[in-house]
Amino acid sequence: MQEKELSDNPMDLIKNIETVLNDTLEIISKCFNEEELKTVAPLVAGKHSPLIALRSRLKDIEPNARKEVGKVLTDALEKVNETFHAKGQELALLSELNYEKVDLTQYVASLNSIYGNGLGALHPVTVAQGELEDIFVAMGFSVMDGPEAETDWYNFEALNIPKDHPARGMWDTFYLNTAQPETILMRAHTSPVQVRVMKTYEPPIYTVMPGRCFRRDTPDARHLAIFHQIEGLVIDKDINFGHLAGTIEKFTSSYFGPNIHARLRPAYFPFTEPSAEFEITCTICSGDGCRTCSNTGWIELGGCGMVDPEVFKAVGIDSEVWNGFAFGFGIDRLVQMKYSLSDMRDLTENDLRIMLQF
């Protein structure tokens, strides 16, 4: 900044103050980091500040005008001071943000150098969910969903599992500590969504309901605490077990291909009667028996059955007119078997050596 020629004329001095003020503000505004701002600090205060230097000229102007010019100078000094401090705060915030900034392009570049292709992709369970939805939509089903935090009524009671029913032990459940009068829990299966659908829509109903489920299961080779199911529900007239078996046969062969070896075994669920479990030959050991299938040679993929009249009663559907079937399959289990993963936990650990194979 150049030294200005000073004069004893008050108007000239005021003009001079304004010019120096504007120059100083411009210099402050051009600082891009705290270091640069530090180097311009002498402009704001101290004997090298050109504005403070102008103070010595006050004594050379006539006393009547001195007060007015003095005020212009004081205001200019205040303005510089304020601008300097505001700029300091702005640059401090910027440097904090820069410090916390994560450069994802560098991360992707380093993945590229290690794995060849660091581009993101959908998780295999998400892909499987999409594929299953497509299969069912092609069969004439709609796709619906429901809340992950549920009431006890939807997760259990409406499904013919009253409090203290021993079958509650089949679903080791996470309960939420809320101030609600109703018991709220993380749904242990997707079956509460079929209750919501039946309460909301008039039959006939052909729908699937995929989503996350939560259980206090210790993770092991074929269990996770957070996993995915796809629920199916058909309500119409004159539906029989053959329709259920045919539907399961169709969707499993569409998902796995025609060579899958499968069986239905009698089972118990409080909300279906009769009930069955659907199993396929373990794809890890081809049925010989291994750690994943607990040496049985079979892996259970899901449960199913004809909707129990008690459930129809809970949702207000006339079981004299309508009947139907329901099923619930583990999507993570389907993926595990399709890709012969000996341990389901591989799906959650995000190990890129595994994920990049999908």
Q: Which residues bind ligand FA5 (CB under 6 A)?
A: 170, 189, 191, 215, 217, 223-224, 227, 229, 231, 269, 272, 275, 300-305, 326-330, 332-333
Sheet holding 262-269, edge to edge: 142-143, 205-214, 226-236, 323-330, 298-307, 272-281, 262-269
The span from the CA of 233 to the CA of 196, in Å, is 11
The span from the CA of 76 to the CA of 49, in Å, is 12
Instruction: Show the tokens assigned to 93.
Output: 């915030």
Closest residue to bound ligand FA5 by CB = 330
The span from the CA of 243 to the CA of 246, in Å, is 5
In the complex with ligand FA5, which residue's Cβ is closer, 44 or 280? 280
Cβ pair 190, 231 in contact under 8 A: yes
From the CB of 258, what's the least distance to ligand FA5, in Å? 21
In the complex with ligand FA5, which residue's Cβ is closer, 50 or 324? 324
Cβ pair 188, 214 in contact under 8 A: yes
The span from the CA of 8 to the CA of 30, in Å, is 32
In the complex with ligand FA5, which residue's Cβ is closer, 80 or 301? 301
In the complex with ligand FA5, which residue's Cβ is closer, 84 or 251? 251
In the complex with ligand FA5, which residue's Cβ is closer, 87 or 222? 222
List % helix, strand, coil for the chain (3-state, nearest 5): 45, 20, 35
